[in-house]
Each structure stands twice: as C-alpha cells, then as structure tokens.
C-alpha cells in the first residue's frame, strides 16, 4: 500500500498565505530544485475480464479485455494485466489477451494484476468435420450378372457449427478401367447420404478399386477419403466337344469347372441335376480353395436307363454357389447351367401275343384270345383300336384298349369268337388289326404301324341235300298209278353253297315214271328253299 500525506483544506490555506510572504523563498527553493509531492494510497478491488464467457470453434480467436478496479469500483487507468490459460491444450492466449481455440472442451482464461485475478470461462467446440459411417467399403458382383445393389452411406457433421457446400469426387485406380463407380450426394449440407453405384456388366472377373473424396470449405481437414473395392467373380465351364450328351443306358460325358478369380476363402459349388431319373452328375459338390481355384475340376455325367418312351430329353445340370459355405465375393455369382441331351433308347411300340403261337376259332363258337401290352411306358394314355376284316366270320372284343403310364405294362386280353354261318366255305382266314388311335394317344406312339394277326375260323357246314317225299295215298310215300296220276317230293340243300349247285333228276325207267323238272338249280340266294 502506498501512503497518502497531503491534506487539501488546511494545507491549502496555509500555502496561499505563505506564498505571498515567502515568494522570494519559493522562487529560491524552486530554483534549487526543492519540490513538494502528494502520495495517494490505492487498494485494488477486482479485475474484470470481458467477455466473461465465450464459445469458440476450434481455430477461432477471441479478444479478451481486463479492467482493474479499486476498492471503490473505480477503474485504474494504465493498469497492465498478465494473461494466462488454465489448459493450454484447449486455449492459447497471448500477452494482448487474444485467445485462440486449440482443442474441444472447457477451460478458464485468467487476467492477473498485483495479485488480483479475473477469469473468463471458455468453451471450445470441435470444428465442422465430415464424418462417414464407413471409411472403406467392399462391393461384390458376378460376371455377366446383375450389378451389386447401390450402397448408401450416411454423411454427418462430426464436429460443431455447420457443414455446408459438400462436394464429391471419384478417382479410379491407375491402370484399371474408369467409370465403373459413380458417387452422388443427396444434398450438399450435412447430414446427407452418399450413394455409390457400380456398373459391372462390362467388367471381367477381377478386383477393382477406387477412392471417393468428400470435401467442404467448413472442414479444415477435408477432403475425407472413402476407399471402395469391387470384386467381380465368375465360374468357367468347359464342355467336352462343346456340348454334353449321354445315352440312357449308362452313357457318360463330362465337363470341367474352374473359378475366374482367386477367392479369399473356400468356394463350394453344388451340382444339381434337373432329373436324376435321366442323368446323374458326380460329384455332388465341388470345393475350390485359394490355392487351387484355377485348377479345373471334372463333373461326370451318367445317363440313367428307364422305360419311358419320352424321346431325347434336355436335362439342365445347375451349378450353384453355396452362399453359406463360400467366400462372400462369390455369393453374387448367378447359377450356371449345363444342358445335357439324354438320348432315349425306349422306342415306342406295343406287342400282340397269340395264345399257343396262333389264333384259331370255329363257327361252332369256340373262342381264342390275344394278349396286348405296351413295350415302353408312355408319357400320356395310349388308345389302341381292335378291328377285323370279316365280321361274318369272327368277332373280337373289346374293340378299344386304353393303356396309361400307370398300367402300361399290364397286358390286356382280346377275345376272338367264330361267327356261325350256313355257307360251306371251309376254314376262313380273317385278319385282326390292332392300331393306335392318334387323336387319343401319346404323340410318340402315333406313327406306329398296326399289328396284324391272322385268325382261322373252322367251317361247320357239310355239303349235302335232303329229299322229302310227300305223304301221297297208297302203300308207299311216293305213289302214282299208270292212269297218269302224279306225286311229288321236295329237294333242298343242307348248307349254303359258295356258288350254284345243279341237281339232275332222272327216272331209271321212263316207261313207267317220268319226272319234271329234270334239273334243279340252287343258288347261294335260294339254297334253303
């Protein structure tokens, strides 16, 4: 504390009256350098810092001022304070009171004068900062297949203030194809979305890389780089002779499989046959490792024998990546299909079997039988028609036979019966024809030729004729008198002739008896009259 000795009032009056009397002395004293000084005592009351609180973004500066007041609140002019910061890692302040924000957080700025201290609280907010949820992404696609789905990344402000005027730029790896990656921002102010789209339809199998740079004038550390990698995977298949075909009865063929790009882990491919009853593929799975991915593996195709008349079949054999057991880069690979031609060895046909090796019936009604069955399984019903060349000699039934895929191998019976007639024609041969009804049958059977069976029908009509005498009066059935009486008898054939039959009527004694007419003619039309 500085002491204060002068008293204004009394001392002033004394000085005024003394000056008049002692002017010469005063001049002498002045000339001699004799000066009288006043000494004031001052007590420091406080140091006030302005602003008392401040919020700064990283990198921003703030001018702080300090006012020194005495105990009565009067400012002391010319008082020079000493500036300091509690945490220099957050705020750095110079001798002139200019504070610069260094790192986020809170700290205190202090002004000191002769032991008196004034403070200000400073909050430092992180500067605007581009923030993306992933700084590296991977995309996968299959050769010739659909592109990977668009990848959407959230872009946010990881600091304080506003993050505006965002821009994006894509750079593809040197030496590789350009233009396969497109990056777009939904908005230029954060928060927003960054969408990555890969075009893979013209890319061969392999690995590709690009870099997406996000920039903003508000982020002093921009650009932020996002690394993008793309893996395009594929499967190569080489068929023997350029195609695959097997015969039903155990014929074989094969094809080879390899990967188009090295995997990071195992790739398992399942081999799925469209119809195992037609063709079997072995092995059922192929496994490729990072060490042998380019070494072809062989799939063997074996035709399976069956009894269906289905013609040559085109059977798909599908190669499908087992996603759960395979490297993710191969999961987008589309199924690959090898079409195998299975050559059918089951020509459509049917068989007609005669009992005992031949078919014979008689007019008396003795029957015989035929057995009919398909030789191969049809894909749909087959209807057979049974017909015969002479219905006056034989009859057969049933007249139609229907076979289905369920009962094609079960023989059906056709019964043949002789038809009785009165014609003396001897044993007759009749043709029975079994043929396919195209409109109602499996198309594979439509063009089959009919099966023909010859049936012999034994004749039961013997040649002969019958003479019947009338019951005329007299001692004999036929009786005449010399006086010119007459009698008659009838003549009829016993069976129908195949052609005219002429009978001669002759008296062995024309002098006693004459007969008329001398000739009787019977035809197939009147043989029984």
Q: 401: cis peptide before it, omega within 30°?
A: no
Question: Whole-number mean pLDDT of the chain?
Answer: 86
Per-residue pLDDT, 440: 93
- CB neighbours (10 Å) of residue 30? 10
Find out whether 496 and 395 touch, Cβ atoms under 8 Å.
Answer: no
Beta strand segments in 186-223, E: 192-198, 206-215
Across the range 190-218, mean pLDDT stands at 94
pLDDT band at 241 (very low <50, low <70, confident <90, very high): confident
Residue whose entry in the numeric block shows the structure tokens 């001699």: 32
* Residue 93 or 6, more confident: 93
Q: Are strands 519-522 and 501-504 parallel, antiparallel or unpaired?
A: antiparallel
DSSP 28-43: HHHHTT----------
Structure tokens at 321: 């990546």
Across the range 359-371, mean pLDDT stands at 87
Per-residue pLDDT, 25: 34
How many residues in total does the chain contain? 529
Using one digit for the tens of pLDDT, what is the confidence trace for 415-426? 999 887 777 777
Find out whether 314 and 341 touch, Cβ atoms under 8 Å.
Answer: yes
pLDDT band at 382 (very low <50, low <70, confident <90, very high): very high
Using one digit for the tens of pLDDT, what is the confidence trace for 471-484? 766 666 777 777 77
- 295-309 b/e (C-beta count within 10 Å ≥ 16 → b): eeeebebebbebebb
How many whole angstroms separate alpha carbon 374 and alpha carbon 484? 78
Per-residue pLDDT, 472: 61
Cα 378 versus chain centre, distance: 33
* Whether pLDDT at 140 is above 50: yes
pLDDT band at 31 (very low <50, low <70, confident <90, very high): very low
Q: Is the pTM of this model over 0.75?
A: no
- CB neighbours (10 Å) of residue 428? 20
CA count, 13 A, side-chain hemisphere, 319: 26
* Whether pLDDT at 130 is above 90: yes
Per-residue pLDDT, 276: 94
Using a pLDDT cut of 70, give the percent of the chain over it. 91
How many whole angstroms separate alpha carbon 280 and alpha carbon 299? 10
Residue whose entry in the numeric block shows the structure tokens 């009351």: 45
At 351 the three-state DSSP class reads: strand
How many whole angstroms separate alpha carbon 410 and alpha carbon 494? 47
Using one digit for the tens of pLDDT, what is the confidence trace for 170-180? 999 998 899 99
pLDDT band at 78 (very low <50, low <70, confident <90, very high): confident
Per-residue pLDDT, 285: 97
* Whether pLDDT at 258 is above 60: yes
Across the range 364-369, mean pLDDT stands at 85
Find out whether 466 and 481 touch, Cβ atoms under 8 Å.
Answer: no
- CB neighbours (10 Å) of residue 228? 23
Per-residue pLDDT, 33: 43
Using one digit for the tens of pLDDT, what is the confidence trace for 313-353? 999 999 999 999 999 999 999 999 999 999 988 889 999 99
Beta strand segments in 363-443, E: 367-374, 382-388, 394-397, 400-403, 412-418, 428-436
C-alpha distances out from residue 57 to 65, 92, 122, 369, Å: 20, 13, 11, 110
Across the range 210-232, mean pLDDT stands at 94
């Amino acid at each position: 504390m500085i002491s204060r000795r002068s008293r204004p009032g009394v001392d002033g009056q004394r000085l005024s009256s003394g000056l008049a009397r002692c002017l010469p002395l005063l001049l002498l004293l002045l000339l001699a350098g004799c000066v009288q000084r006043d000494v004031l005592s001052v007590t420091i009351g406080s140091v006030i810092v302005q602003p008392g609180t401040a919020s700064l973004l990283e990198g921003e500066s703030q001018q702080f001022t300090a006012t020194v007041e005495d105990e009565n609140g009067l400012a002391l002019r010319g008082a020079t304070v000493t500036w300091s910061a509690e945490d220099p890692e957050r705020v750095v302040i110079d001798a002139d009171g200019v504070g610069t924000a260094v790192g986020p957080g809170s700290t205190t700025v202090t002004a000191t004068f002769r032991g008196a201290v004034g403070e200000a609280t400073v909050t430092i907010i992180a500067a605007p900062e581009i923030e993306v949820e992933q700084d590296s992404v991977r995309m996968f696609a299959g050769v010739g297949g659909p592109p990977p789905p668009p990848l959407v990344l959230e872009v946010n402000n990881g600091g304080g203030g506003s993050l505006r005027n965002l821009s994006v730029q894509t750079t593809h790896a040197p030496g590789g194809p350009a233009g396969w990656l497109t990056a777009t921002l939904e908005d230029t102010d954060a928060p927003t979305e960054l969408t990555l789209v890969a075009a893979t339809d013209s890319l061969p199998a392999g690995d590709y890389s690009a870099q997406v740079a996000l920039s903003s004038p508000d982020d002093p550390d921009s650009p932020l780089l996002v690394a993008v990698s793309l893996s395009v995977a594929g499967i190569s298949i080489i068929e023997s002779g350029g195609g695959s075909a097997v015969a039903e009865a155990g014929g074989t063929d094969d094809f080879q499989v390899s990967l188009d790009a090295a995997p990071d882990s195992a790739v398992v491919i399942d081999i799925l046959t469209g119809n195992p009853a037609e063709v079997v593929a072995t092995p059922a799975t192929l496994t490729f490792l990072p060490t042998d991915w380019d070494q072809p593996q062989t799939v063997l195709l074996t035709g399976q024998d069956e009894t269906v008349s289905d013609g040559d079949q085109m059977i798909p054999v599908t190669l499908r990546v087992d996603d759960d057991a395979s490297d993710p880069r191969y999961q987008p690979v589309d199924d690959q299909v090898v079409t195998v031609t299975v050559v059918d060895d089951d020509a459509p046909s049917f068989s007609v079997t005669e009992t005992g090796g031949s078919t014979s019936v008689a007019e008396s009604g003795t029957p015989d039988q035929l057995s009919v069955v398909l030789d191969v399984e049809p894909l749909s019903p087959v209807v057979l028609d049974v017909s015969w060349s002479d219905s006056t000699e034989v009859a057969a039934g049933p007249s139609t036979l229907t076979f289905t895929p369920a009962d094609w191998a079960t023989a059906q019976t056709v019964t043949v019966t002789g038809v009785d007639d009165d014609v003396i024609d001897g044993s007759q041969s009749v043709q029975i024809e079994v043929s396919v009804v195209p409109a109602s049958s499996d198309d594979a059977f439509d063009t089959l030729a009919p099966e023909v069976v010859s049936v012999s029908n034994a004749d039961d009509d013997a040649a002969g004729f019958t003479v019947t005498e009338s019951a005329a009066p007299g001692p004999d059935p036929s009786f005449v008198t010399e006086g010119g009486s007459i009698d008659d008898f009838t003549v009829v054939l016993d069976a129908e002739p195949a052609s005219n039959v002429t009978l001669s009527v002759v008296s062995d004694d024309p002098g006693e008896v004459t007969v008329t007419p001398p000739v009787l003619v019977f035809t197939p039309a009147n043989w029984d009259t």
